[in-house]
Amino acid sequence: MTWQNWAGTATATPARRYEPRTAEAIADAVRDAATAGLVVRALGSGHSFTPAAATDGAAIDLSSWTGVVSADVSTGLVTVRSGTTLRDLNTVLDALGLALPNMGDIDAQTVSGAICTGTHGTGAGLGGIATQVEALELVTGDGELLSVSATSHPELLPAARVSIGALGVITTVTLRCVPTFQLAADERPMPVEEVLDRFEEFAADNDHFEFYWFPYGRNALVKRNNRITAPGDSAATPPPMPGWRRFYEYEVMENAAFGALCRTGRAVPSLVRPLGRLAAATLSARSYSAHSHQVFVTPRRVRFVESEYAVPRESVLEVLAELRLAVPRLSQPVMFPVEVRVAAADDAWLSTAHGRDTAYIAIHQYTGMPYAEYFAAFESITGSAGGRPHWGKMHTLDASRLAEVYPRFADFLQVRDQTDPQRRFSNLYLDQVLGR
Ligand SMILES: Cc1cc2nc3c(=O)[nH]c(=O)nc-3n(C[C@H](O)[C@H](O)[C@H](O)COP(=O)(O)OP(=O)(O)OC[C@H]3O[C@@H](n4cnc5c(N)ncnc54)[C@H](O)[C@@H]3O)c2cc1C
């Protein structure tokens, strides 16, 4: 059966498909595939834009390997089966009075898919989801189950937290969660020049700051989400957003209306620039409070392609200035806004924020519209700033370039030699980014 990712940018026809329901069955599948001489990839929710999960060998579908194994509310440590989606994890965490400290803007990903590619949200003092990983178990290339934690092979943890699935099939992940919290959300249009001038101030003063720059408009949409530390303080706590308004803002405006705009722009490219100006000019302000993940996550029904680069935070303004010069020169117009986020430095060897405070710049194009020229120009600009591509988003860098921007790249490859000397878990994408 043919497999395809969410964006339609990767397809594959696995020779075999396994749907294990136990950790032993995952190990059996790896051994069985090895006997048949097949390479193996684990399938998450297919939300990577890169062909990271694609295989013509054996696909291990983890959609029946879900749920929480154990949870300790006092420490916040929660062990979860790798195929669990972030959405389902949040439901369980809600009931336990726990939460993920930070998230990206969707929750459809599996826990293992999210950590494998370094999935992140925004927050200058916070890392991506992989920074919350305290332990994990994986099936290595020889079909053995390996525990990695502070007390078992701790030396492998910085490699295993973000692994692009190259070290083995992850069976369980132990995440350090935090007590449940509410966020005060503030989203408002602001002249893009002002946002750029105040970038450092906004990043420092808000728990979660990001903005969307509309390439042909004057305004950016600034999102500032802050933890509500004194829930009784009504001055600091905006009221919840009524259900009808949430539906109107997110379903009607951000999905239905924006989707219609995109379809128009795709059909009549000369309208893209005026439509972009219109979209930026009609942005509206909203403030509300809600449970953390209800603020982090928004429905994304309009399909697109995406590339995202992590650059040292101090170079973000320079990179954006170059991008703003490059976009008007493109022969094909850009339909989608550019998203800018921040994250703290961390120590996972293949984390895009490894060793440096980071700004993420994500560019998108509506599905079916030309993007090659835009993405190439972006890659060249971020390349001069030592940019690191998101492992799950489109890019063309190869192992030799990635070795230059990841100081622990060779150490990661050594761990790969230990856990998968036969390259059981290889595919074309890993050949590109890690070498054969
Ligand atoms: C609409 C949309 C919004 C997004 N928003 C964000 C965002 O806000 N922030 C962000 O950082 N990213 C974002 N992404 C990217 C997305 O978070 C990542 O690509 C993530 O990896 C997808 O998770 P998945 O479960 O779909 O994994 P997949 O794409 O299915 O797999 C990703 C990789 O992990 C491997 N893998 C999965 N499970 C295992 C396992 N158990 N053991 C070993 N390897 C495994 C796969 O083989 C593959 O190499 C977004 C993507 C989309 C489509």
What is the tens place of the pLDDT at every residue in 180-207? 999 999 999 999 999 999 999 999 999 9
Task: Using most ligand atoms within 8 A of CB, pick from 39, 109, 122 the residue to mutate for ligand 1.
Answer: 109
Tokens of 303: 């399909």
Does the pTM exceed 0.75? yes
Tokens of 305: 């392609």
What is the reported pLDDT for 242?
84
Q: Alpha helix (H) ranges present in 140-191?
A: 157-160
What is the reported pLDDT for 237?
85
In the predicted model, what is the mean pLDDT of residues 67-83? 98
Q: Please give the C-alpha separations between residue 87 and each of 83, 94, 277, 296, in angstroms, as whole numbers.
A: 11, 11, 34, 12
Percent of the chain clearing pLDDT 90 (strictly above):
89
Task: Using most ligand atoms within 8 A of CB, pick from 6, 41, 47 the residue to mutate for ligand 1.
Answer: 47
- Ligand 1 centroid–CA 295 distance in Å is 20
- Ligand 1 centroid–CA 66 distance in Å is 16
Ligand 1: residues with CB < 6 A are: 6, 41-48, 52-53, 62, 82, 104-106, 109-110, 112-114, 116-117, 119-120, 164-165, 169-170, 300, 390, 392
In the predicted model, what is the mean pLDDT of residues 395-400? 98
- Distance between CA 175 and CA 80 in Å, rounded? 8
In the predicted model, what is the mean pLDDT of residues 397-422? 98
- Ligand 1 centroid–CA 392 distance in Å is 6
In the predicted model, what is the mean pLDDT of residues 107-134? 98
What is the reported pLDDT for 316?
98
- Ligand 1 centroid–CA 286 distance in Å is 30
Answer whether 168's CB lies under 8 Å from 420's CB.
yes
What is the reported pLDDT for 231?
67
Answer whether 334's CB lies under 8 Å from 272's CB.
yes
Region of poorest pLDDT, from 150-154, 273-277, 339-343: 273-277
What is the reported pLDDT for 427?
98
Q: Please give the C-alpha separations between residue 157 and each of 173, 370, 389, in angstroms, as whole numbers.
A: 12, 40, 22
- pLDDT (tens digit, 9 = 90+) per residue, 265-311? 999 999 999 999 988 888 889 999 999 999 999 988 899 999 999 99
Mean pLDDT score across all residues of the chain: 96
In the predicted model, what is the mean pLDDT of residues 329-346? 97
Task: Using most ligand atoms within 8 A of CB, pick from 17, 88, 106, 210 the residue to mutate for ligand 1.
Answer: 106
Tokens 């696909």, residue? 59
What is the reported pLDDT for 177?
98
- pLDDT (tens digit, 9 = 90+) per residue, 157-183? 999 999 999 999 999 999 999 999 999
What is the reported pLDDT for 233?
65
- Ligand 1 centroid–CA 111 distance in Å is 8
Q: Which atom of ligand 1 is nearest to the CA of 46?
A: 30
Residue nearest to atom 48 of ligand 1 (CA): 53
258-267 and 272-281 helices, crossing angle to 10°: 160
- pLDDT (tens digit, 9 = 90+) per residue, 213-247? 999 999 999 999 999 987 666 667 898 988 888 87
What is the reported pLDDT for 287?
94
- Distance between CA 160 and CA 175 in Å, rounded? 13
- Ligand 1 centroid–CA 209 distance in Å is 22
What is the reported pLDDT for 235?
64
- Ligand 1 centroid–CA 148 distance in Å is 21
Q: Which atom of ligand 1 is nearest to the CA of 112?
A: 38
- Distance between CA 241 and CA 236 in Å, rounded? 15
In the predicted model, what is the mean pLDDT of residues 20-34? 98
Task: Using most ligand atoms within 8 A of CB, pick from 116, 361, 395 the residue to mutate for ligand 1.
Answer: 116
- Ligand 1 centroid–CA 143 distance in Å is 23
Q: Please give the C-alpha separations between residue 104 and each of 64, 191, 244, 294, 417, in angstroms, as whole numbers.
A: 24, 24, 24, 11, 31
Answer whether 54's CB lies under 8 Å from 98's CB.
no
Helix (H, G, I), strand (E, B) or coil at 144: coil
316-326 and 372-384 helices, crossing angle to 10°: 150
DSSP for residue 370 = -
- Ligand 1 centroid–CA 354 distance in Å is 18
DSSP E strands in 26-132: the ranges are: 40-43, 58-61, 68-72, 77-81, 98-99
pLDDT value at 31 more than 80 = yes
What is the reported pLDDT for 376?
98
- Distance between CA 400 and CA 102 in Å, rounded? 32
pLDDT value at 416 more than 90 = yes
**What torsion do the CA atoms of 402, 419, 160, 77 make, to the nearest 10 degrees?**
170
In the predicted model, what is the mean pLDDT of residues 349-378? 98
Tokens 């990635």, residue? 402
What is the reported pLDDT for 250?
80
Tokens of 268: 């009549």
CB atoms under 10 Å from CB of 355, counted, come to: 15
Tokens of 62: 């983890």
Q: Which residue type does 107 have?
A: D
- Ligand 1 centroid–CA 49 distance in Å is 8
